[in-house]
Amino acid sequence: MYFTQFPINMTRRESRKLLASPYLMHAAVAGSFPSNSVPDATENGRVLWRVDRMNGGGTRLYMVSPSKPSLVGLDEQMGWPDCEPQWGTRDYDAFLSRIEVGQTYSFRLVANPVVSRSTRGGATDIANQRGGSKRIGHLTVLQQEAWLIGKQAYESVDSEVPRLFASEESSRAQRNGFEVLVDESGASRVVVSNSGKAVFSKGAQGKRMTLVRAQYDGVLRVTDANALRHALTCGIGHGKAFGCGLLTLAPLSR
């Protein structure tokens, strides 16, 4: 696996155009790999990407991929093609191999927090035209937090736990090999921000899509190293083609 950081030149019109559409951005990322060189997803990993607005200014594209990307074309679209390459790609396997149970990291995840039941845990489903259930986005910060850490999100607030989360045997975080730590007051060390909807057109026919997104920043402890490695290389949740699901870790600041 490979991990890539690509700084985006926000003064360019093409950059703003791509960032406004997760579909166009997906196409630009996919164009960084030779045709058919990377399958959509395997047990060993898939292409994941995420755009971060940096605290110190600037915008950066992160990518995880089974093969090494060629970013010359992307640089011509949204980089500084007349300068030395600003991006960097490194081997990711060395870091993945060092993950062990009990380690703690700060983390960031941009996800698509959705539920397939219209009543957030009731028996009724909303049927779409094909007769299946319809994905409904969690819109409140508390629901979005619970999407990741389950009923733990409600332990420090005066609110009843919805049946959807109360009935979970394990949270999404636990199923992906980690637990979110709590502070001295018992509150979960995770912050949900940049929550909102992206509305964009998909495909030649311009089908309209709505993507609910939320950013999670927090502190975690590894509980299952293999499950966490799978999450880091295969993503978490839905919307992976459109910039959701990429979990990244960093050493805790001292």
Q: The CATH number of the domain where 134 resides is what?
A: 3.30.70.1210
68 and 125 part of one domain: no
pLDDT confidence band for 39 (50 / 70 / 90): low
Q: Which of 73, 97, 121 is the last residue of a domain?
A: 97
Nearest in space to 242 (alpha carbons), one of 205, 206, 204, 197: 197
63 and 118 part of one domain: no
Beta strand segments in the chain, E: 2-8, 48-53, 59-65, 88-91, 104-111, 114-115, 136-137, 178-180, 190-202, 207-222, 247-250
Rounded to whole angstroms, what are the CA distances from 24 to 84, 113, 122, 181?
A: 25, 22, 36, 36
Q: The CATH number of the domain where 51 resides is what?
A: 3.30.70
pLDDT confidence band for 36 (50 / 70 / 90): low
Q: Which of 97, 113, 143 is the last residue of a domain?
A: 97
170 and 213 part of one domain: yes
pLDDT for the residue numbered 124 = 47
Give the pTM: 0.88
pLDDT for the residue numbered 221 = 97
112 and 191 part of one domain: yes
**What does the alpha-carbon distance between residue 214 and residue 192 come to, in Å, rounded to a whole number?**
7
pLDDT for the residue numbered 162 = 79
pLDDT for the residue numbered 119 = 46
130 and 195 part of one domain: yes
**Letter for the amino acid at 180?**
V
The model's pLDDT over 4-34, given as tens digits with 9 standing for 90+, comes to 999 999 999 999 999 999 999 999 999 999 8
pLDDT for the residue numbered 118 = 47
Higher pLDDT, 253 or 240: 240
Task: Supply the range of the domain harboring residue 143.
Answer: 104-250
Q: Which of 97, 119, 147 is the last residue of a domain?
A: 97
120 and 173 part of one domain: yes
165 and 68 part of one domain: no
Count of structural domains within the chain: 2
**What does the alpha-carbon distance between residue 175 and residue 150 come to, in Å, rounded to a whole number?**
11
115 and 87 part of one domain: no
Contact 31, 6 (CB under 8 A): no
pLDDT for the residue numbered 137 = 66
Mean pLDDT of 236-245: 94
The model's pLDDT over 68-115, given as tens digits with 9 standing for 90+, comes to 999 999 999 999 988 888 899 999 999 999 999 999 999 999 999 987
122 and 11 part of one domain: no
48 and 131 part of one domain: no
135 and 178 part of one domain: yes
142 and 225 part of one domain: yes
**What does the alpha-carbon distance between residue 149 and residue 127 come to, in Å, rounded to a whole number?**
27
The model's pLDDT over 139-194, given as tens digits with 9 standing for 90+, comes to 788 889 999 999 888 887 777 887 878 888 899 999 999 999 998 888 899 999 99
